[in-house]
Amino acid sequence: MAEERDWEKKRYDSLIKITRTMGGAALSGAVPTPTLELAKQLGISIADAWMCFDIYKTYFGKDLSKRDLASMLQTTGVVVLGGGLAGYAGIRLAQALLSEILEQIPIANSIITGIAFGSSTFIIGLAWLAIVEQNYFAREADET
């Protein structure tokens, strides 16, 4: 029973982190930044990576090392994660281009890019949470 509550708290804490990062990405995306879109994308990408590292730390109580990442890749599948990283880069570049195009329509630009940035961060957070939880439960099963 205590183990179930511990797992639920980890998930709750991780969902709060995802939501907080999503809100920051949405607000950052909504702010018009002519000619600075790639810099803004870089900042949001760093925040997304930080969120992922923080979720890992919530579950395992330590920073994500190269060895731990390699272990997760074996469990999850390199193809899935590699495809996800390529898709992530494509999404961020497309969002930067969309924002530059929509700069001529100020309110629509803010609304559309804010939603796009926030939702992609949210989806990335949920996908990473699923990967971390899969590894967490696999390790728990190995220990028992």
Q: Where are the domains of the chain?
A: 2-143
Burial tier of 130 (Cβ tally within 10 Å: 0-12, 13-18, 19+): exposed
**pTM to 2 decimals?**
0.78
Block residue for tokens 């992609």: 120
Neighbours of 27 (CB within 10 A): 13
71-76, long-range: CB within 8 Å, 24+ apart, which pairs? 71/135, 72/131, 72/132, 72/135, 75/134, 75/135, 75/138, 76/131, 76/134, 76/135
Give residue-wise pLDDT tens across range 87-109: 666 777 777 777 777 777 778 77
Write the pLDDT tens digit of every residue in 20-58: 999 999 988 788 776 677 777 788 888 988 999 999 999
